[in-house]
Amino acid sequence: MPLRHFSIAIPLLMVLPVSAQQIEVESFVLDNGMEFLLLPRTEQPNIIAAGWLARVGSVNERPGITGISHFFEHMMFKGTTTIGTSDAERDRSYREEQANLRNQLLDLTWGEQYEHHRRGEIDDPWDEVSDSPAIKELRSRLTNSKEGHKQVIVNNEFDKIYTSAGGSGMNAFTTNDVTFYFINVPSNKFELWAWMESDRLSDSVFREFYAERDVVHEERRLRTESTPTGVFQEQFNAMFWQSSPYSWPVIGWTSDLNSYTMEEAQRYFDIYYQPSNIVGVIVGDFDPDEIKPVIRRYFSRLQAGRHAPPPVVTLEMKQLAQKRMYAECDCQPQIELRYHTVPFAHSDRPALEMMAEILNGRTGRLYKSLVEGKSIASSATSSAGGFGAPAKYAGSFSFQAQVKGDALPEDLELAWYEELERLRNEPVPAQELQKVKNRVAADAYRRLESNFFLLLQIGYYEALDGWEHINEDPKRLQAVSADDILRVADTYFERTNQSVAIYNRTAGGDPIDEDLLALGPEQQRNVMLMLKQMENYSLPGLLQFRAQMGERLQQIPPQQAEQFKPMLEYLLKKMDERIAELQAAEND
Amino acid sequence: MRLRTLSLFALCLPTSIPLAAAQDIPNRPEDIQFAPLNFEPPEAAGYRHELSNGVLVYLAPSQELPLVNIVFTFKGGGYLDPQGQVGLVSATGSMIRRGGTMSVSAEDLDERFDFLAANVSSSSGSTTSLATINCLKSNLEECFALFMDMIRNPGFQADRFTVYVDELLERLRQRNDFPDAILNREWKALLYGRDHYEASQTTEPMVQAMSIADLRDVHRQIFHPGNLIIAVNGDFEESQMLALLEEAVSGWEKRPLVIDPPAPEVKFTPGLYHVEKDIPQGKVFIGLRTISRDHPDYFPMLMMNEILGGGGFTSRITKRVRSDEGLAYSAGSTFIPGVYFPGEFRALFQSKNPTVALSAKIILEEIELIRSEPVTGEELEIARNSFIETFPRTFESKAGMLNVFVNDEMTGRDAAYWKNYRDNIKRITAEQIMDVARRRLDPRQMAVFVVGKWDEIYQGDLDQRANMSEIFGGNVTHLPLRDPMTMEPIK
């Protein structure tokens, strides 16, 4: 039985009585150039959210040191001359020794190993499997030095001091544009924050440099390599940006992660962590008149830098042709389309954001049309950039959707073009625009509910263009007209300005090789190494090798047969498979 | 005269301050003197009200922003799924928001909520169900009237249910895509049994068999005043809010309170388990079932876990696996005391395939160590201080505070828990921690669960510091990956 629906009368152009809240941030600058933004707030008693940001991110890097901004974020928790060691002098000599060994190791790797790699003799110049005797020697001296160093390292002391004092949520993140450090402290412990942060900003020591680099490798495996679409998103990003330094990932390319030197790190720190490039942000339960003297006392000890950080000069080249990428992964078939748009401070950004708002949400155009109407998507959203995305120097607009049922990613692409045509040709109806504006206005209040979120917004806006955006943006969004949306939809969405990534699901998986498992760890390793070498053999070479192996199998003394026979048989089986593969390839 | 003094003073200022400042900075952070922070936890009774039909209401007004936030919490969740209909309660929770009301179509309801800029949600978790609204004070009455119509008279509109089913099936299809999802799923199945609600999984046939009549049955069972507690924070006046709520629930049939979630019947077999997934990094849980939160071992376990692996960088596992060895990005442990039955302890990490064995070995060593030697005075003090000093954060925001009150009320936790919390933490000694670890963390009783590429993981690291034959003698149970749609083992 169909339900009788009463439609609700919606008065056209009813405007909700909302006017964005103004928050009063107090800003001041120390003599050394460090800026502070203060926002007292009593709604969350007894707590202060405190943080600071450096105006540095992957955009300030260059090939060879990609990922160093993020690596710094890790190193900043390793302490100072005072924090993190029981013997500053021995600590320093261990660090110098390790930097020295490390530099020799890098020279050998970049020299010999890279050359072997270029000649096709080894797969990966960084893989320890291919270490030369000299590299092995250096590596083992490095390991010894690191072991010795542990005697004078007070592990994670920075964290212990905060934890013991009731600090919570201590963390940091790095984006393309900004590096941000933050923590919540009890309101009576503000001075501790000032001590700790001014200490690490004036006297940072890069301890446990190499173990931490391994941690970052694990982070890369976790976030990029072990997720269904991670590595492909990284490639898509590199394809989308041509000349802009936004093209490399924030976490860095693998070879570069291995290549940082202590000198390079120190140079980077001196340039980008000078006080005039840093902004402190404090939100919560405090009296500004009480904490300002504390801030001055502690942060005035930071030495002003001698030269301002260099500007980011490389602009993105204008895209001239559509770019497409096809990937297969353990993932829902999906699509992303991305367009070059404008940097954060550009006057067209509010209109592009409103365009995304029109498309998004439960009653937005994408859900209604792709998910409900055509029933080809299980999700569909658009984004005009946003928190953490590249923004300061260049922007982008993207559409992402996952398929439903038998639909193909290409069906989603066509549906997107239809929506785009509507936006380019028909003004957004007044009622629809007002709905989105109402939501944007209410959300402007919701964003002011938590100390921590306020801290992030004020800091992030300040890094991109100015903290005043927290008050000004809601007004700018309200001022966007249907004509503005029509205009931006017509300006930035040419096919030649577009990159497309299409993901399809991989069929099947890798079964476990039970025969290999039966061999036990030591033989497994030998077998794996030989199999790896075998990949480089040509067909005649392999046939010859196969013949020799067959003979050796016959010659095993009976008393050793039980031990080695399974391994040799396994190798022969794998060889035969490989031979068949190569023969098939020749016949093609 | 006056002017001149002033200008002289101003001239002196820039030079004199940094000089004085340098001397004022203590050498070490421990030398700083802090003003005491006096904090007493808020008492639920001060915020508690009762409507005439017996429904409890917690109110916490605040005038900072012109928003009102209302949370309806109903006892009842996935544990009430009928036999062979896993996911039905969850579907009901979602469909209340998505399917309109008996008199307003889903499309009109959505458009109206959106136009009024109200954020409205409904959902059912494993033990409770929620309906929430966050809206502007200026249109509270209209929004709230629609919200109540939605909860009391949901439309469960058929075309919306079709969309829900389609989306759910697509989510099922992705159940093996993330290695962590496989690990969580199979771990729960091992510890609680596949039939228990902590582990049960819906399937395509179950989803296809769901009907709107089924949803209505679940709605009748859970979404009524007998299961309900209300919490409101934001900009409102208490007496007006109580009047509004009183009116909203009048004539709403109150049915019996649902039963408590059942305890699992399975006793799991300790050992080494593995599910194959071709990724460059193995994902591992090591742990076992422990206690419920009312157990006398609760506070010692809390402290023990904090020192062993729960306290982030200050904890032993993180220090050794991450900081010393660089083997993992995240390595630590978590203690999840059960509410209705014993919960679990587990250590966890992810590491590149060759160093999975080494990381696991280090963690097992640390577990042995905390069972055999008392923790140090420094460790005890850091853990103690951390719990005590961060205690106020539990009640930091109004919404967070009310959430604590509602959960305590619903699960019958004594209000004295928060009152005595800090004293109970202070009392714990190093001996108690060693004792509880010895009794509760026997590695021979644990499961070591690995998702990853087994042939690479098994061999261990290049220097042979460890390989998987050292863990339960390498006797591994290879569990099959399960078909994402049917949950049947894949051959």
Domain match, A146 and A160 both? no
Task: Give residue B343's pLDDT.
Answer: 97
Mean pLDDT of A265-272: 93
Q: Has residue A278 got a pLDDT over 90? A: yes
Domain match, A213 and A242 both? yes
Those residues with Cβ within 8 angstroms of residue B107's Cβ, 6 or more apart along the chain or in another chain: B100
Q: What is the CA radius of gyration of chain A?
A: 29
Task: Give, for B405, the enclosing helix (H) or strand (E).
Answer: helix B398-411
- Specify if A562 maps to a domain: yes
Task: Give residue A366's pLDDT.
Answer: 98
Q: Has residue A2 got a pLDDT over 70? A: no
Residue labelled with tokens 């192996």? A549
Q: Which of A43, A168, A227 sits opposite B390 (nearest CB)?
A: A168
Residue labelled with tokens 């209909």? B85
Among candidate residues A325, A497, A328, A504, the one with its CA nearest the CA of residue A409: A504
Q: Which of B39, B136, B170 sits opposite A378 (nearest CB)?
A: B170
Reduced to 3 states (helix: H, G, I; strand: E, B; else coil), residue A8 is coil
Residue labelled with tokens 């190791």? A105
SS (H, E, C) A441-494: HHHHHHCCCCHHHHHHHHHHHHHHCCCCHHHHHHHHHHCCCHHHHHHHHHHCCC
Residue B327 distance to chain A (closest CA, Å): 6
Domain match, A457 and A544 both? no
Going by the DSSP 8-state scheme, the letter that residue B138 receives in this structure is G
At A16, the pLDDT band (50, 70, 90 cuts) reads low
Mean pLDDT of A9-23: 55
Residue B328 distance to chain A (closest CA, Å): 6
Residues B271 and B481: their CA atoms lie apart, in Å, by 18
Interface test with B, best of A449, A453, A519 (most B CBs within 10 A): A449
- Specify if A421 maps to a domain: yes
Does A218 contact B312 at a Cβ distance shorter than 8 Å?
Answer: no
- Specify if A17 maps to a domain: no
Domain match, A392 and A525 both? no
Residues B74 and A526: their CA atoms lie apart, in Å, by 60
Does B135 contact A442 at a Cβ distance shorter than 8 Å?
Answer: yes
Q: Has residue A6 got a pLDDT over 80? A: no
Domain match, A162 and A289 both? yes
Does A217 contact B32 at a Cβ distance shorter than 8 Å?
Answer: no
Residues A210 and A218: their CA atoms lie apart, in Å, by 13
Among candidate residues B217, B249, B261, B256, the one with its CA nearest the CA of residue B128: B261
Residue of A nearest to B28 (CA): A82
Mean pLDDT of A94-115: 95
Among candidate residues B167, B182, B362, the one with its CA nearest the CA of residue B283: B182
Does B386 contact A525 at a Cβ distance shorter than 8 Å?
Answer: no
Residues A80 and A157: their CA atoms lie apart, in Å, by 10
Does B65 contact A448 at a Cβ distance shorter than 8 Å?
Answer: yes
Give per-residue pLDDT as tens, B449-483: 999 999 999 999 988 999 999 999 999 999 999 99
**Residue B159: its chain A contacts at CB < 8 A?**
372
Give per-residue pLDDT as tens, A380-390: 999 998 777 88
Question: Residue A238's domain is classified under what CATH number?
Answer: 3.30.830.10
Q: Has residue A45 got a pLDDT over 70? A: yes
Q: Which of A105, A136, A153 marks a domain boundary?
A: A153
Residues B456 and B459: their CA atoms lie apart, in Å, by 6
- Specify if A166 maps to a domain: yes
Domain match, A210 and A273 both? yes
Mean pLDDT of A329-354: 96
Domain match, A374 and A450 both? yes
Q: Which of A483, A505, A527 marks a domain boundary?
A: A505
**Residue A190: its chain B contacts at CB < 8 A?**
none
Task: Give residue A20's pLDDT.
Answer: 58
C-alpha separations of A32 from A28, A137, A296, A301 in Å: 12, 46, 10, 9
Does B393 contact A184 at a Cβ distance shorter than 8 Å?
Answer: yes
Domain span at A277: 26-84+154-299
Residues of chain B with pLDDT under 50: 1-21
Interface test with A, best of B235, B284, B306, B314 (most A CBs within 10 A): B314
Mean pLDDT of A547-572: 79
**Interface contact B31, partner A, CB < 8 A:** no
Burial B374-392 (b: 16+ CB within 10 A, else e): ebeeebbebbbbbbbbbbb
Domain match, A248 and A350 both? no
Task: Give residue B349's pLDDT.
Answer: 97
Of residues A17 and A71, more confidence is placed in: A71
Give per-residue pLDDT as tens, A364-378: 999 999 999 999 999
Task: Give residue B22's pLDDT.
Answer: 53
- Specify if A493 maps to a domain: yes
Does B279 contact A226 at a Cβ distance shorter than 8 Å?
Answer: yes
Mean pLDDT of A541-551: 82
Mean pLDDT of A57-77: 94
Q: The tokens of B8 are what?
A: 């002289």
- Specify if A372 maps to a domain: yes
- Specify if A19 maps to a domain: no
First to last CA, chain A: 63
Residue A386, Cβ neighbours under 10 Å: how many?
11
**Interface contact B278, partner A, CB < 8 A:** yes
Residue A533, Cβ neighbours under 10 Å: how many?
9
**Residue B22: its chain A contacts at CB < 8 A?**
301
Residue A525 distance to chain B (closest CA, Å): 6
- Structurally, chain A folds into a number of domains equal to 4
All domains of chain B, ordered by start, with CATH?
A: 46-249 (3.30.830.10), 271-478 (3.30.830.10)
At A531, the pLDDT band (50, 70, 90 cuts) reads confident
Does B469 contact A521 at a Cβ distance shorter than 8 Å?
Answer: yes
Reduced to 3 states (helix: H, G, I; strand: E, B; else coil), residue A402 is strand
Give per-residue pLDDT as tens, A407-446: 999 999 999 999 999 999 999 999 999 999 999 999 999 9
Does B328 contact A215 at a Cβ distance shorter than 8 Å?
Answer: yes
Domain match, A397 and A474 both? yes
Give per-residue pLDDT as tens, A180-237: 999 999 999 999 999 999 999 999 998 888 888 888 889 999 889 888 899 999 999 9
Task: Give residue A478's pLDDT.
Answer: 95
Interface test with A, best of B389, B454, B461, B476 (most A CBs within 10 A): B389
Domain match, A329 and A419 both? yes
For chain A, positions 207-236, list CB contacts with chain B under 8 A.
208, 210-219, 221-222, 225-228
Residue B395 distance to chain A (closest CA, Å): 9
Beta bridge partners of A336: A400, A501
**Interface contact B99, partner A, CB < 8 A:** no
**Interface contact A552, partner B, CB < 8 A:** no
Angle, CA of A358, A361 and A367, to the nearest 5°: 90
Residues A176 and A147: their CA atoms lie apart, in Å, by 35
Residue type, B275: V
- Specify if A191 maps to a domain: yes
Interface test with B, best of A4, A13, A98, A215 (most B CBs within 10 A): A215
Residue B186 distance to chain A (closest CA, Å): 18
Residue of A nearest to B118 (CA): A439
Residues A484 and A437: their CA atoms lie apart, in Å, by 14
Q: Which of B135, B166, B459 sits opposite A404 (nearest CB)?
A: B166
**Residue B312: its chain A contacts at CB < 8 A?**
159, 163, 170
Q: Has residue A303 got a pLDDT over 70? A: yes
Q: Which of A470, A505, A540 marks a domain boundary?
A: A505
Domain match, A329 and A409 both? yes
Chain A / chain B CB contacts < 8 angstroms: 279
Domain match, A370 and A471 both? yes
C-alpha separations of A128 from A122, A137, A316 in Å: 11, 12, 38
**Interface contact B117, partner A, CB < 8 A:** yes
**Interface contact A128, partner B, CB < 8 A:** yes
Task: Give residue A580's pLDDT.
Answer: 85
Residue B382 distance to chain A (closest CA, Å): 5
